[in-house]
Amino acid sequence: MKIAVITISDRASKGIYEDASGPAIERVLLERCENAVIERSIVPDGLDSVYEALLRNGDADWIVTTGGTGPSPRDLTPEATARYCDRLLPGIAEYFRSKSLEQTPFAVFSRGIAGMKGTRYVVNFPGSVAAAVFHAELLAPLLDHGTAMALGKGH
């Protein structure tokens, strides 16, 4: 299963600081998914940059984004994801937010969404390392079943 992990951050894309969320997500998914092949990239915040990054990862089974899901003006990851996807999967985002609210009330500010383009899933994670790891741990058990369902092999 191929998983693309895209970090969305103006500062990390410029090398102002090192991306920590992308590697943390990769580590969790590799530990929990024995058949995962992960490719990581970093792009700046913004509608077009995120949309183009999603297009570049068209061969992935799952695309996980980290960052750009908050309420700040440059946080446009959900909008780019909605533009890219054929259909939305609100249950995934609702599940992540409900579990996150058990950890912190600030989860109410997360605008992350999830959806599909064809058989490919796209899921938005927050950008903090702790939240990204938490979301990766929630996603890992869903990967195989979700992939099978997308390919018409689920129950």
Q: What is the pLDDT of residues 45-79, one digit of tens each?
A: 999 999 999 999 999 999 999 999 999 999 999 99
Structure tokens belonging to residue 111: 């605008």
What whole-number percentage of the chain has pLDDT above 90?
97
For the segment 126-135, the average pLDDT, to the nearest whole number, is 97
3-state secondary structure of 90: helix
Structure tokens belonging to residue 20: 């920590």
Determine the Cα–Cα distance for residues 152 and 130; give it in Å rounded to an integer: 34
Strand locations in the chain, DSSP E?
Answer: 2-8, 37-43, 62-66, 87-88, 114-117, 120-125
Domain ranges of the chain: 2-150
Quickly name the fold that domain 2-150 has: Molybdenum Cofactor Biosythetic Enzyme; Chain A (3.40.980)
Q: Which of 121, 99, 97, 118 has its CA nearest to residue 109?
A: 97
What whole-number percentage of the chain has pLDDT above 70?
99
Share the mean pLDDT of the chain.
96
Structure tokens belonging to residue 33: 């998914």
* Contact yes or no for 126/112 (Cβ under 8 A): yes
Q: Does the pLDDT value for residue 155 go beyond 90?
A: no
pTM: 0.96
For the segment 131-142, the average pLDDT, to the nearest whole number, is 98
